[in-house]
Amino acid sequence: MRSLLCCLLLAAPAVVRAQGVQSDCFPAKDSHEAQVFGTYSVPMAFAPGDAPAPLEAWHLRAGVETSYLPNIDDSTATPTTCRPGKGPENVNFGALLPRPRVSLGLPGGFALEASYIPPVRVKGAKPSIFGVALRKTFALGSMTLGVRGHATVGVIHAPVVCDDNALNDPLSECFDGTKSNDEFHPNIFGADASLGWSLGDGRFQPYLGAGFNLLHPRFRVNFTNQFGQVDRRRVEVDLQRAVLFAGASWFPSPRFAISGQIYSAPTDAVTGRVGLSIGL
């Protein structure tokens, strides 16, 4: 008996550590969880807002763009690894993602681009997302090459794991609990290059581009069930994505521009963007 007690005492820390590891989830790169993260990275990536063009030093250009949020079907929204058998997560929060943009010209053909989505709750989701990029343009004869490094960081709070429907479903583990206030950190870092040219005396500027994104999405559950137990599990996966895009900017006047873009990570999704900007 004394030997058995000793063995149990020695094994206890290992059991606690194992339970701690199991409390967080690290799904495979081909899991449904990874597919959801990859899909949302497409509209959230801080891609070029318009055709590549030099911006004079210390001049500002401000505007707003709207991206299409691809719909995620119930099959993909059903976890593969982290909560198998639970049913689809609440991952669709509307069809459009608007955000303001501002660009500041710097010496040497550089420009600093920035964006912020403020914490205004829309359809249950409350974002606080920053986008930042550093761009350099090069003149290539009649064409312009734009090279950028960009990042998208911040947090979105939303009832992903347990929304109102799940709380009222007697068959759900969420039943009679508190609506979850889960956290999603997109953490998108990438680089891209685009090549543009001018038509119609420079009023119409089409462009093509490609890039590569590193995705480090981090998701954390925040749910209290009917027994008062709090779930704070993390879901983490690191991904890499090649991206392709094409678009055009129309300048009805030298200061004002209307832009459109198709942006795709071929393994995940395609989004469309429309933007308006004005030189200040």
Where exactly are the structural domains of the chain? Answer: 27-279
Q: How far is CA 160 from CA 38, 180, 221, 236, in A?
A: 16, 7, 8, 15
Identity at 198, one-letter amino acid code: S
Neighbours of 96 (CB within 10 A): 11
Helices (H), the chain: 2-23, 32-44, 74-77, 164-167
Q: From CA 150, how far away is CA 41, in angstroms rounded?
A: 13
Is residue 211 within 8 A of residue 158, CB to CB? The reply is: no
Q: From CA 237, how far away is CA 241, in angstroms rounded?
A: 13
Q: How confident is the model at residue 11 (pLDDT cuts 50, 70, 90)?
A: very low
What tokens does 185 get? 């950190």
Q: From CA 65, how far away is CA 258, in angstroms rounded?
A: 10
pLDDT at 196: 97
Mean pLDDT of 87-98: 93
Helices (H), 45-98: 74-77
Residue 269 reports pLDDT greater than 50 = yes
Residue 20 reports pLDDT greater than 60 = no
Mean pLDDT of 197-222: 95
Q: What does the pLDDT look like over 130-174, one tens digit per residue?
A: 999 999 999 998 999 999 999 999 999 999 999 999 999 998 889
Residue 15 reports pLDDT greater than 60 = no
What tokens does 110 get? 């550089």
What tokens does 163 get? 């929304």
| Least confident range of 6-10, 46-50, 73-77, 81-85 | 6-10
Q: How confident is the model at residue 14 (pLDDT cuts 50, 70, 90)?
A: very low
Residue 243 reports pLDDT greater than 70 = yes
Neighbours of 108 (CB within 10 A): 7
Residue 85 reports pLDDT greater than 90 = no
Is residue 15 within 8 A of residue 102, CB to CB? The reply is: no
Residue 8 reports pLDDT greater than 80 = no
Q: How confident is the model at residue 10 (pLDDT cuts 50, 70, 90)?
A: very low
Residue 266 reports pLDDT greater than 80 = yes
Beta bridge partners of 275: 65, 259
Beta bridge partners of 117: 129
Q: From CA 233, how far away is CA 116, in angstroms rounded?
A: 28
Is residue 256 within 8 A of residue 204, CB to CB? The reply is: no
pLDDT at 264: 98
Q: From CA 55, how far away is CA 133, in angstroms rounded?
A: 14
Is residue 39 within 8 A of residue 124, CB to CB? The reply is: no
Architecture field, domain 27-279: Beta Barrel (2.40)
Neighbours of 132 (CB within 10 A): 15
Query: What pTM, to 2 d.p., does this model score?
Result: 0.89
Q: From CA 100, how far away is CA 117, in angstroms rounded?
A: 7
Mean pLDDT of 99-115: 97
